Amino acid sequence: MYIVSTYLFAVVLCVITMLCWGSWANTQKLAQKSWRFELFYWDYVIGILLMSLIFSFTLGSTGALGRGFVEDLLQAEMSNIGNALLGGIIFNAANILVAAAISIAGMSVAFPIGIGIALVLGVIVNYMASPQGNASWLFAGVALITIAIVIDAVAYRKKASQSHKVPTKGIVLSIVGGVLMALFYRFVASSMVSNFEQPDAGFLTPYSAVFIFSIGILISNFIFNTILMRRPFEGAPVTYSQYFNGSLKEHFTGILGGIIWCVGMTLSIIAAGKAGFAISYGLGQGATLVAALWGVFIWKEFKGTAGVKGWLVAMFILFVLGLISIIYAGQ
């Protein structure tokens, strides 16, 4: 299987992860003009599974080091398969809540709050389980990003007060989704080998771990999303017949979103071999900054809101400084 050989390249992959995780929601924004997010989400999940299979039978099945994808699945212990599945289930619950928050409150609000919380808690959880990197620089970066999240909340409050709309539901969903999002990565990491080049028996390698994780997402989606379709957070219930009546463009948009997210997840996992799980996860969740940029400059979610420009600039600067600090922690 393909294995990352240097810390510098691991950082590059983490930056790509950040771009993927911060950009997939644009497909939801495009689809929601004609397509409810509950229906979009089915295709999103299919996209994740398809991309995990593509990676497994390409990068996961080539090279002299590690174990091939099929061989790895056959030797894996059920406890480790269970951890990867559980990671997928937890992620799916979290991501549905964040996706719902995006549809209610917008990307520039849902991502900084939800994924920002996930970054802070997730780095702490993953570092405690696998302490790799300089703790001072790592948590200094986390602290800067936490301040950036608070500043974003201040900017959002100004927007809400000026528009006379306070979608508290969107904020609550972002918070709950963020807490759950902080936990899923640890379960996937705990199912994996400690040395990618000489993998431990019974554990999963990165590509098979992401595949099992994707299966967990798909299975749980039959429960979580079915409930949400019948009892949506907003709007009228939707049906499976509406999903199957969707256009090719609508289905493709969701699948593309899932592919983009899964590219980020896979690169994050394989980068962890050199960067460590805490740093790899933390950099990837810098997606908050990317999503906020999309929300502010492309989707114009703060258009016409007076007095927020300075707050937004401060937020972006602190996010960048926080990410730099996290990168330096791995040196």
pLDDT value for 163? 58
CA distance 141 to 49: 32
- pLDDT for 54-110, tens place per residue? 999 999 999 888 999 999 999 999 999 999 999 999 999 998 998 788 778 766 667
Q: What interhelical angle do 277-284 and 116-129 show, nearest 10? A: 170
Q: How many CB atoms lie within 10 A of CB 293?
A: 18
- pLDDT for 129-140, tens place per residue? 989 899 999 999
Residues contacting 23, CB < 8 A, separation 6+: 260, 287, 290, 291, 294
Residues contacting 90, CB < 8 A, separation 6+: 180, 183, 184, 187
Query: Which token pair is 109?
Result: 């609000």
Model confidence at 182, in pLDDT bands (50, 70, 90)?
Answer: very high
CA distance 212 to 195: 19
More confident residue, 25 or 240: 240
CA distance 62 to 88: 25
pLDDT value for 120? 85
Inter-residue contact 1 to 63 (CB < 8 Å): yes
CA distance 70 to 92: 25
pLDDT at residue 164 above 60?
Answer: no
In 3D space, the residue among 273, 114, 21 whose CA is nearest the CA of residue 122 turns out to be 114
CA distance 143 to 120: 8
Does the predicted TM-score (pTM) go above 0.95?
no
pLDDT value for 150? 79
What is the Cα Rg of the chain in Å?
19
CA distance 269 to 264: 9
pLDDT value for 316? 87
pLDDT value for 165? 59
Cα atoms in the Cβ-side hemisphere of radius 13 Å centred on 145 = 33
Question: Taking the alpha carbons of 162, 167, 168, 172 in that order, is the dihedral positive or negative?
Answer: negative
pLDDT at residue 15 above 70?
Answer: yes
- pLDDT for 138-163, tens place per residue? 999 989 988 887 787 777 667 666 65
pLDDT value for 20? 94
pLDDT value for 113? 79
Which of 60-74, 123-137, 165-179, 208-222 comes out lowest in average pLDDT? 165-179
Query: Which token pair is 55?
Result: 């990676």
